Amino acid sequence: MLRFLSLVLARLSSAYRDRSYFEGLKARLLAAIAILVAGFIPFNIAKILWFQPPLILPRMAVNLIVGAAAMICLRSVMAGRLERAGNGLALAMALSVHGTVLLVGATTRALQPLSVGIQSFAFDLVTLMIAILFASRRIATLVFAIVVVGHAGYYLFMLRTADLSPSEQFSAGTLFRDGLIAMVLIFILGITLVQMIDAAHRRSEEALRQSKRTNEDLERLEHEARGLSERRREFLEVQRVFISMVSHEFRTPLTTIQGTQYLLKSLLKEPAIPVGSVAEKTEKWLGLQASALGTLNKLVDQVLVLNRIEHMTGEASFELIPPGELLKAAVDRINNSMADPRVVLRIDVPPGFTASMDPGLVEAAAENLISNGLKYSGPDKTVQVRIYAESGGWAFEVADQGRGIPPGDQANLYHPFFRAGNVGTIPGTGLGLAIVRRAVDFHGGQIGFRSEENVGTTFNLRFPVAARPPPGADAPDPGPLFRGY
């Protein structure tokens, strides 16, 4: 028995998992009533067979119908059909009792009619309560009508014509009048109470939903607050690093400019200096100033390019351009700036091949990679640049023979102002690879690299042919590193 009850509870929990708590409670209560009714029927049948009351067959029929209805009700409840289960049990109980009573009364002479009326009245009260609590409003009203009609019909056609003593006639009239009043009051009060409970349940469910939405909003706000706090912390860290970088990287060219400016002013104040000597020194110091100004210009350009990608300031200029020609111009520009050209370009795209791109960003990415390759390689080492077409897009790679990137630094390689631990005294801002990564992401491409310390590094950038600027006001935030090797 305990195992059966455990199985029923498990099935109910599974069937009403997504229902409200109130509906699950009603399902458990109706299942308990159905089990009690079904369990009572065998005992009642045994009692009938033992005491042999009049009209055994009709009594047995009513018990069997009610027992079958209870089992069907239990099965429907366990299947999640709560209202159908209540409808079936209430209708079966009302129709079976009153149908049997009217049929027997019409075909046989009533035996102990007042006792049968009292039993029917008690049974009607139970049936009416089950209909009010578990059946639909329409079925509950129908059951109430059946009970009232059956009760009135039994009194009018059986109790009034039965051979009863005056006291029994008075009891029968009292049962009819007070019984009808009691059933009407029970039905009205029951329906009212059920409506009040349903209204309270709906308000409770709405309050729970609002509470849930409030909690979700609070969790979202807390998550956003944590995100803002984390972004603020990152911003402050970037600001600190930026100030440190500015104070270091900008100070050197500014010091050079200030020094040469001072020397030039001092030179102009000195009397009787040979013209050739003045020209020679002036040319030398102006050259130092030009170099320092170029360094400053480059630093400012890198910051502006990174800011443009990060915040999308300015219009994106996407054009159909031959990538081979674009990279060839960039490589030629770099080679022409050196006494001994060290960049080797290999173009493996078909003639006439074009792709959609922002030329300024692609050019900035290529120049930063080539510049890094030259800067971190020996003066006798070359940097290999190869551009090629692939399925759905094109790519280029830049391979150097430099000092490589330590494994522990590779995860932070694309963060602004980050520099690997083995750069030594080589000047730099840590902005180049951040620009490269964001330029690739801006085109919806992919970036990967392989690196070995003291051997070299190869960066591989892949772009789609039909690149489009990303939606929204900000460029995509770089995700985990794409490993293409």
What are the tens digits of pLDDT across the range 319-345? 899 999 999 999 999 999 888 899 999
- In order of 259, 317, 358, the CA distances from 282 in angstroms are 13, 42, 41
3-state class (DSSP) for residue 122:
helix
| C-alpha atoms less than 13 angstroms from C-alpha of 140 in its C-beta half-sphere | 23
**Integer Cα distance of 316 and 351 in angstroms:** 26
Beta strands in 72-198 (DSSP E): none
CA distance 242 to 299: 12
Calpha distance 266→148 (Å, rounded): 122
pLDDT for 189 equals: 92
* pLDDT, tens digit (0-9, with 9 covering 90-100), for 244-283: 666 656 666 777 777 777 777 777 666 656 556 667 777 7
Q: What is the pLDDT of residue 303?
A: 67
| Integer Cα distance of 232 and 243 in angstroms | 16
d(CA 377, CA 342): 10
Mean pLDDT score, 421-428: 76
Question: Is residue 205 within a helix (H) or strand (E), and if so which, with residue range?
Answer: helix 166-245
Residues 128-181 pLDDT 10s? 999 999 999 999 999 999 999 888 888 877 777 777 788 888 888 888 888 889
| Contact partners, residue 469, CB within 8 Å, separation at least 6 | 312, 316, 318, 358, 442
pLDDT band at 17 (very low <50, low <70, confident <90, very high): confident
Residue 401: band (very low, low, confident or very high) from pLDDT cuts 50, 70, 90: very high
Q: Taking the C-alpha atoms of 185, 187, 192 and 193 in order, what is their torsion angle to the nearest 10 degrees?
A: 100
Rounded CA-CA distance 304/287 in Å is: 25
The Cα–Cα gap between 428 and 347 comes to 29
Q: Contact 183/148 with Cβ under 8 angstroms?
A: yes
Give Cβ neighbours of residue 418 (< 8 Å, ≥ 6 apart): 409, 412, 430, 434
Kindly report, residue by residue over 27-57, the tens digit of the pLDDT: 999 999 999 988 898 998 898 888 877 778 8
Sign, Cα dihedral of 83, 84, 90, 95: positive
Give the per-residue pLDDT at 477.
Answer: 40
Residue 453 · residue 363 · CB < 8 Å = no
Q: Cα dihedral angle (146, 151, 152, 154), rounded to 10 degrees?
A: 120
Owner of token pair 């045994």: 46
Longest dimension (CA), the chain: 157
More reliable by pLDDT, 166 or 240: 166
In the block, residue with structure tokens 């009051």: 185
For 369-399, write each residue's pLDDT tens digit: 998 899 888 888 999 999 999 988 999 999 9
CA distance 146 to 35: 25
pLDDT surpasses 60 at 422? yes
Calculate the dihedral angle through the C-alpha atoms of 278, 284, 289, 294, rounding to the nearest 10 degrees: 150
Average pLDDT, the chain: 82
* Whole-Å CA distances, 75 to 38, 80, 93, 468, 480: 12, 9, 17, 60, 54
* Global model pTM greater than 0.95: no
List the chain domain ranges: 2-163, 312-464
Percentage above 90 pLDDT, the chain: 29
DSSP string spanning 449-461?
A: EEEETTTEEEEEE
Contacts of 195 (CB under 8 A, 6+ apart): none
**What is the pLDDT, as a whole number, of residue 360?**
86
- Which pLDDT score is estimated for 251? 65
Are 325 and 450 contacting, i.e. CB atoms less than 8 angstroms apart?
Answer: no
| C-alpha to C-alpha distance for 174 and 276, rounded to whole angstroms | 140
Q: What is the pLDDT of residue 309?
A: 61
The CATH class that applies to domain 312-464 reads alpha beta
pLDDT of the residue at 120 = 84
Long-range contacts of 260-263 (CB under 8 A, 24+ apart): 260/285, 260/286, 260/288, 260/289, 260/292, 261/289
How far is the C-alpha of 280 from the C-alpha of 112, rounded, in Å? 141
Name the nearest CA neighbour of 484 among 457, 448, 450, 458: 448
Q: Could you tell me if 292 and 254 are in contact, meaning their C-beta atoms sit under 8 angstroms apart?
A: yes
Q: How many whole angstroms separate alpha carbon 438 and alpha carbon 474?
A: 11
- Average pLDDT (64-85) is 91
Torsion of the alpha carbons at 251, 252, 253 and 258, rounded to the nearest 10: 80
Tokens representing 170 are 């008075």
> Tens digit of pLDDT for each residue in 98-143?
888 877 776 666 557 777 788 888 888 999 999 999 999 999 999 9
> Predicted confidence band at 188 (pLDDT cuts at 50, 70, 90)?
very high
